[in-house]
Chain A
Amino acid sequence: MGDRRFKATSIAVLVVLAAVWLLPIYAMLNTSVKTQTEVAAQKFLQLPQRIMFQNYIQAFRALRVGLTNSAVITLPATFLCVFLGSLAGYYLTMFEFKQSQLVFFWIVVATFLPYQIVLIPITTLIGTLKLMNTYAGLILIYVILNIPMGTLITATFFMKMPTALQEAAALDGCKPFMFYRRILVPVSIPGLISAAILVFVQIYNEFLLAIALTRGPKVKPVMPILAELKGSQIAQWNIQMAGAVIVSVLPLLIFIVLSEYFVSGLMAGYSKE
């Protein structure tokens, strides 16, 4: 009855929206298999004459090292941001102490700041620590810049936990770290995952620091290389779009996997309440 009609309309609406949402992706895929001449014609809707898979091969060759570097840098950095950030989020929300409000305030302000405003001091810092052009240097700076966000997001999810739970556990002789590991984390999977998704995207897609703090291809992440694919005075959009598809595979995989946990983790989490 009314419910079936609602379901039908909602599917129709979703299909239309999905089509709109996919338009730019269509442009990306379409351009990625065209020749440079075809791209120059700028008929974005039109399909290519021949499918130039060699664009992907060319792009992949250029991106290969960068992809490894990005994985090596982004994954540990994300893990550290979420893990260390959640420890702080946990303590801030579960334990009262005099300055918690102040500390929280300044942490949140720090997440709002665009890092470009401290680009020069960052380069100075990494240069002084002699961590220029190293994995460690990039991981370090990305962690410093993104831990506040990790803390903020996890704290917001932890806020929903009743402190009574923590107090009861403490009375039972449960040490904080055990509480964190055994109770908090499993229940707050969605929070940790949201944090992981956001932080991962921030670090993986970052561009300026990736150039400023590296020299040469050894540790350079994938984003600057992607930007280079177009060329400054030659405009190879097709290769760059092929590269864009390749580069987006890793985040997409992470989204697919994580959002599964997100949705299923939720069911488990909330039912524990």
Chain B
Amino acid sequence: MKYSKAYGIAFLAPVVISVGIIYVMILWDLVSAFTIWEGMRATWKFAGIINFLNLLELRRFWVNVQNNFLWLIFFIVPTTLLGLILAYLFHGLRRAEKVFRQIFLYPMALAFIVTGALWAWMYDPGSGLINSLLRLLGVNTAKLGWIALPNVAIFCMIFSAFWQYVGFALVIYMGAIRGLSDAMVEAANIDGAGHFRILFQIIFPNVGHGTLICTTMLAITTMKVFDLVWIMTGGGPGIKTEVLPYMMYRMTYSQHNVGMGAAASVVILILAAAMVIPYSQWAIKKWVR
């Protein structure tokens, strides 16, 4: 509905100005991507798309893109799923729920620079916690190299992010499930529906809103993941666990190639925009009721 413009300006100003500032700064990236840089020095000479061409030629770039996609799938889906299941399990509990909730929520309070080190210790094949426990249970851990194995490393890393964010999915879904009318669940119970069916055929379709928030937040996290890669493996072994923001950082500050780093930044921007388009389409549809 329409309202006086004054309110609109007042309410929207802070966010619009902030976003404006952000995009002006991105403009710097855009310009840098199209100019020649000699290491750290800008020459501001127009260079066409050479930075982009160099970038696309790098095998490293494509490995990074692939890794980002792996993150999207293997981080968002399991986290959301487990969050939902846990929320459902919590629903039945009363007092114990508070303690369990904090146990799953606490990882979010930890900074990535800490969890990176913690999970490196978890995954240490020699005396790390996972292998030590497995050995206690009689499992032979000789082949379990975890993040030392090039093809498994990234999944190990995604798991540690999953560990950190399940609490958030849990809380969102807890809220969503409690918001459902108890009558719905009661009716299903009387019908003799198994818990599995209740969860996936009755509850899940009706917490679409919670799912939306959850997946959006997790998608945002995937695009921004940086500290974890940096501390846990430095992108290694080789470049097997590298993701685009980290690659961009390495190019700009370790390789002193600001032009290519800026080109990578532009790619990140394009990918983000591409991911947001379906989301905002959906959101717009919801508004135009």
In the complex, A touching B (Cβ < 8 A): yes
> Could you tell me which A residues sit within 8 Å of B by CB distance?
6-7, 10-11, 13-14, 17-18, 21-28, 31, 42-45, 80, 84-85, 87-88, 90-97, 100-101, 103-118, 120-122, 125, 143-145, 147-153, 155-157, 159-160, 163, 166-167, 170, 176-177, 190, 194, 197-198, 201, 204-205, 207, 223, 226-227, 237, 240-241, 244, 247-248, 251-252, 255-256, 259, 262-263, 266-267, 269-270
Residues of B in contact (CB 8 Å), total 100
Measured between beta carbons, the chain B residues less than 8 angstroms from A207 are 111, 113, 227
Q: Which residues of B from 232 to 282 have beta carbons under 8 Å from A? A: 245, 248-249, 258, 261-262, 264-265, 268-269, 272-273, 275-277, 279-280
Bound CA span A12–B7, Å: 54
Q: Check B15 against A148 for contact (C-beta < 8 Å).
A: yes
CB distance from A194 to the nearest CB of B (A): 7
Within 8 Å by CB of B11, from A23, A176, A197, A204, lies: A176
B114 at the binding interface (Cβ < 8 Å): yes
Q: Given A23-B129, A45-B133, A110-B22, answer yes or no on A87-B11 (Cβ-Cβ < 8 Å).
A: yes
**Closest 10 CB pairs between A and B?**
A251-B109, A117-B265, A112-B272, A121-B25, A84-B14, A88-B15, A118-B25, A114-B245, A205-B111, A91-B11
CB distance from B43 to the nearest CB of A (A): 16
CB distance from A150 to the nearest CB of B (A): 8
Measured between beta carbons, the chain B residues less than 8 angstroms from A266 are 175, 178-179
Q: Check A255 against B7 for contact (C-beta < 8 Å).
A: no
> Could you tell me which B residues sit within 8 Å of A by CB distance?
1-3, 7-8, 10-12, 14-16, 18-19, 21-26, 28-29, 86, 89-90, 92-93, 96, 100-115, 117-119, 121-122, 124, 126-130, 132-133, 160, 163, 166, 168, 171-172, 174-175, 178-179, 195, 209, 212-213, 216-217, 219-220, 223-224, 226-227, 245, 248-249, 258, 261-262, 264-265, 268-269, 272-273, 275-277, 279-280, 283-284, 286-287, 289
Q: Is the interface of A mostly helix, strand, loop or mixed?
A: helix
Q: Given A28-B118, A116-B248, answer yes or no on A45-B109 (Cβ-Cβ < 8 Å).
A: no
Measured between beta carbons, the chain B residues less than 8 angstroms from A26 are 129
Measured between beta carbons, the chain B residues less than 8 angstroms from A150 are 15
Q: Given A103-B16, A113-B269, answer yes or no on A226-B113 (Cβ-Cβ < 8 Å).
A: yes
Within 8 Å by CB of A11, from B96, B104, B265, lies: B96
Q: Check A24 against B122 for contact (C-beta < 8 Å).
A: yes
Q: Check B25 against A122 for contact (C-beta < 8 Å).
A: yes
Bound CA span A94–B273, Å: 24
Of B8, B163, B220, B245, most buried by chain A (CB within 10 Å of CB) is B220
Measured between beta carbons, the chain A residues less than 8 angstroms from B133 are 23, 45
Measured between beta carbons, the chain A residues less than 8 angstroms from B15 are 84-85, 88, 107, 147-148, 150-151
Measured between beta carbons, the chain A residues less than 8 angstroms from B103 are 18, 21-22
Bound CA span A204–B124, Å: 28
Bound CA span A44–B229, Å: 22
